[in-house]
Structure 1
Amino acid sequence: MASTMNQFAHLPIPLEDVVKATNNFHHDNIIEHGGVGIAYKGRLLWSGRLMEITARRFDCKHGDGDLEFLAEISALSNLKHKNLVSIIGFCDEIDGKIIVTTYEANGSLGQYLNSLNLTWKQRLRICLGVAHALSYLHYEKGRDYAILHCNINSNTILLDDNWETKLSGFEFSIKQSVNDKDQVCPCEHTGTMGCVDPAIEKTGGVTHKSDIYSFGVVLFQILCERKALIHNEGDRSLAQLAKHHYERGTLHDIIHPHLLNQILSPQSLLIYSKVAYSCLNDDRAHRPYMHHIVAKLEKALELQLRHENIVRPFFLFYYLFFWYSLFLDGNFSFVSVSLFSILLESKSK
């Protein structure tokens, strides 16, 4: 493994620097307990800059975690995209195998599935960010290999301080010739419960269409504000529930009313739900490619924004008319201030 790591010679970070950055891996700095170790937040002075970081400490007892450690470094060091988390460096010493990446201030998508503050427009943009990231992983012009992520779920989708998507969790990723990306690739880790491609059991491995199935589950999580596995319904999967309602035309029954009220374009919801449903097809051959998903989600967002731009002037006119009526009753000074405030608010949006 040491010889393999030589290709990443520009990325090592001394263990003592990471220890200092995380206050000796203090429990107050724990972000999450992941499948391969614990992630800590910290502040690292590196290359003359003080940076907010995430230090992911791999559990490598008895050799476990070595392959995942290498897989993540290999993927992140060779991939550059605005919707992927960025690697700063790593520590590979006897006392610790740690990957240091940029800290994403708003945590994971999984924390906000039930949030009333995450609007439909924001949710669409997050979905589109993941779709762009996966499209880049599966195919990029001029690159002779594809990356199968193999771990798409709401907790590996991170959000920065501007709520932009940053895909993480590459410890189980697989590099495959771009010409062979439809070929089945054996994989010990098959995904998170509720997000696992059911075709794995039949074929014995994954393809890039396994990522698409998992993404379909995430799309319905974002729409229905539910976990991938519904424990209070006998561990029923959201995929099963969503497919059941979609096929019967009752999808609105499992969408929270506060979110449903924000979806101003019925066509936007139709396009979104149709592409999410197509991702969950049991037959991999009938699941869409990522570039197709990107185009559909862009259209869904465009329709939502178009309707928002229509609705906003209507309400502005309504309020202006209301305040003008008060003006006719002699409330000039109060109305003038109110009108001015409304106009400013509208202009800022």
Structure 2
Amino acid sequence: MDDEEYHKRGDLKLEWLRVIKASRASVIVLSQNYASSTWCLNELVLILEQRMTSNHIVIPIFYHVQPIHVRKLQSSFGDGMAMHKQAMEAETSEEKRSQWAQKIDVWTKALQEVTDLKGMNAHGRRETEFIDEIVKDIYHKLGLSARSSLPQLIGMDYSMNLVTSWLKDASSHTIDILTILGIGGIGKTTLAKYVYGLHYSEFDTCSFIEDISRRCDEHFNGLVDLQKQLYDDISKPSPVQVLHDVSIYTSKIETLLDSKKVFLVLDDIDHLMQLNALLGSKGFHQGSKVIITTKDAWLTERSALFKSNVKPRHIKHKVEGLSDITVSEKTEMPNQNLHPLDPQGLNEPLLRYPEPNRSKIPLDAIKSCTQNFNERNFIGKGGYGRVYKGFLSWGNHVDQLVAVKRLDVTGFQGNKEFHTELTMLSQYQHDNIIRLIGFCNDNKEMIIVYEYAIHGSLDIYLRYPALSDGLSWMQLLKICIDIASALEYLHNHVAEEHRIIHRDIKCANILLDENWNTKLADFGLARIGLANQKNSTVITNPAGTPGYCDPQYERTGFLTKESDVYSFGVVLFEVLCGRLACVLDYHDERRFLHHLARTRYKDGELDKIIDHRIRNDIRPNTLLKFSAIAYQCLHETREERPTIVEVVFQLKEAMKMQV
């Protein structure tokens, strides 16, 4: 791909960004002509930004170049940067010269930064051996060492769905604990082992401690041995010297648990002392998950961890057999207007989902469309699967550009989300909701085909404005009105007796088609609530994206249409401030926008955080109207938030003031 085509086709930039964001690691091959390509340099900047905001692994390869030449811009790297400076000086426009200068500065810093990382040098190496070493290094850093075969799970589909959903739920700001209950031999350990084998690599570190009760009974220092195993597992590669004091080990374990995102399985706990020795009392790093298998339903919540100021979020799951299932969690007592979901989360009260009425597409047609799911057609990754683009030729569709979501069927992941999204999109259509083309469930596949939004998602324009021409204030205001209109349809007009609560409103789920029309997407977490009640509420495990979630929903598990309004309020401030809801680079009040925006608005200092690129384009009255409704959406209690009807009205009034 040459630089000229890269600059001509803006969609390539967005596609490449999606690929980087969806990847866990990047290998950067720094070769002789690397610095002469703006494509390579822009890619390098994106990769290093991803490294700063996530656990993205970066492995630099110095291919017949010296690291010192890269860092100091010598040899071919100096020549490449000199060429870019000449292009800058040749510009007659002061604005374009300034843009070139900014790019060159960013590229220079990126090249210096990449040489600080631990890389590999091809100098004097046989290429076959060198490539083999690179592959081994990637496997090691990704934690992809060979693992034992997973146990077979028969008749435990529901349990797998529940545990997988819990594991992927990142909405909690504290530790999540799942206690799996049941009599001996019912399958608690097998279930935990299966989930652990599928997901252990998604965490900073992990440990599976098996058969705790028996090992403590049979060995004099059994508990200390278990502590050592846990400490060694989560402290790799720096195990502690052998100790013989339970309390010392507990203190060291507590320190580690607070510093890393961990996944722990404690199998067959039968005594409070075991739990306290292995988990301590000081809490865990955000995003950590702990599975405990036991026969004692009350053991977990008696542990020292639950006596801390910030209590864990705890869910119990009782395995009673192949068909009898009980789920319980600590919630407030529901009133007569609260409607709990069924275990599968698919059949809300008094409602029954009809069969999808859209076309079923043969698997062969989808394979042809995506070139058998070729990586060149890969455009993104979600919580439950991968998305590809392709040209569909089947039925009435002739070379139609589509997006194909292929859900991950391993470990029963995504089954509930597949049926939910398919049902929602097949029944409910709106100009600002992504259009369903068809689906496929041949050979146990779970595939949904949508219209393709060629301009990507809104979050890309907020996070990487330099990669695009940017969006004007009028475009952004129209996007906000369109999404509010889609929500008004879902909340009030899908049917006489029920409403749809999207449950995952965020910029990443707001797509832009070829005509810059706005489309709301990703209905996998959506839920149905009754519309003939004054306050219709659904009880469900909190889900969504950190930074966007309704705090009242997070605390209670009670989901209402006002939960969507809160999330949309965050989106309004993202648009106004030109940044995302959560920026991990910040370690102060700026990290989460919902808190920052409310504080600045109340203090009369909103101007300090408004996006400088659009600030002068916003008329004063428009700003007052827009910011006021955005602030109202973020009220802590749902009773104080406006309805989506009011939000639509106020945004349209803001548009009238702007025109």
TM range (shorter): 0.7 to 0.9
In structure 2, the residue matched to 1:140 is 493
Report the Cα offset of residue 197 of structure 1.
0.7
Cα deviation 1:141-190 (Å, max 9, x = unaligned)? 75321000001000111111111110001001011221247333123352
Instruction: Map 1:224-263 to 2 at 5 A.
Output: 224-234=577-587, 236-263=591-618
Instruction: Map 1:172-183 to 2 at 5 A.
Output: 172-180=525-533, 182-183=535-536
**1:181/1:208 contact within 8 Å kept:** no
Report the Cα offset of residue 19 of structure 1.
0.8
AA aligned opposite 2:653: K
Q: Distance in 2 between matches of 1:302 and 1:27?
A: 45
In structure 2, the residue matched to 1:72 is 421
In structure 1, the residue matched to 2:640 is 286
In structure 2, the residue matched to 1:20 is 368
Report the Cα offset of residue 260 of structure 1.
0.2
AA aligned opposite 2:514: D
Instruction: Map 1:314-325 to 2 at 5 A.
Output: none
Instruction: Map 1:183-262 to 2 at 5 A.
Output: 183-188=536-541, 190-234=543-587, 236-262=591-617
- TM-score, normalized by length of structure 1? 0.82
1:58 is the counterpart of 2:411: no
1:127 is the counterpart of 2:475: no
Report the Cα offset of residue 45 of structure 1.
1.1
- Within the candidate set 131, 139, 163, 2:516 is matched to 163
Q: 1:90 to 1:247 in 2, by over 3 A?
A: same
Q: Distance in 1 between matches of 2:430 and 2:357?
A: 22
RMSD: 1.9
Q: Distance in 1 between matches of 2:438 and 2:534?
A: 29
- Within the candidate set 379, 382, 386, 1:31 is matched to 379
In structure 2, the residue matched to 1:85 is 434
Report the Cα offset of residue 7 of structure 1.
2.0
Cα deviation 1:285-312 (Å, max 9, x = unaligned)? 111001100000001111111xxxxxxx
Cα deviation 1:93-146 (Å, max 9, x = unaligned)? 234200001001111111111535200000000000000000000001753210
- Within the candidate set 91, 97, 107, 2:446 is matched to 97
Q: Distance in 2 between matches of 1:81 and 1:95?
A: 30
- TM-score, normalized by length of structure 2? 0.44
Q: 1:245 to 1:85 in 2, by over 3 A?
A: same
**2:428/2:494 contact within 8 Å kept:** no
Give the gaps of 5 or more residues in structure 2. 1-343, 345-351
In structure 1, the residue matched to 2:389 is 41
Q: Distance in 2 between matches of 1:178 and 1:66?
A: 27
- Secondary structure, counterpart of 2:626 in structure 1: helix
Give the gaps of 5 or more residues in structure 1. 306-349
Q: Distance in 2 between matches of 1:9 and 1:76?
A: 10
Number of residues of Structure 1 aligned to a counterpart in Structure 2:
302
Q: Which moved more, 1:86-95 or 1:127-136?
A: 86-95
Q: Distance in 2 between matches of 1:210 and 1:266?
A: 29
**2:358/2:439 contact within 8 Å kept:** no
Q: Distance in 2 between matches of 1:239 and 1:70?
A: 32
Report the Cα offset of residue 60 of structure 1.
2.3
Q: Which moved more, 1:223-232 or 1:173-182?
A: 173-182
Q: Distance in 2 between matches of 1:85 and 1:33?
A: 17
Report the Cα offset of residue 15 of structure 1.
0.9
- Identical aligned pairs, as a percentage? 38
AA aligned opposite 1:258: R
- Secondary structure, counterpart of 1:233 in structure 2: coil
- Secondary structure, counterpart of 1:231 in structure 2: coil
In structure 2, the residue matched to 1:267 is 621
Q: Distance in 1 between matches of 2:533 and 2:370?
A: 41
Q: Distance in 1 between matches of 2:497 and 2:642?
A: 21
Q: Distance in 1 between matches of 2:611 and 2:536?
A: 39
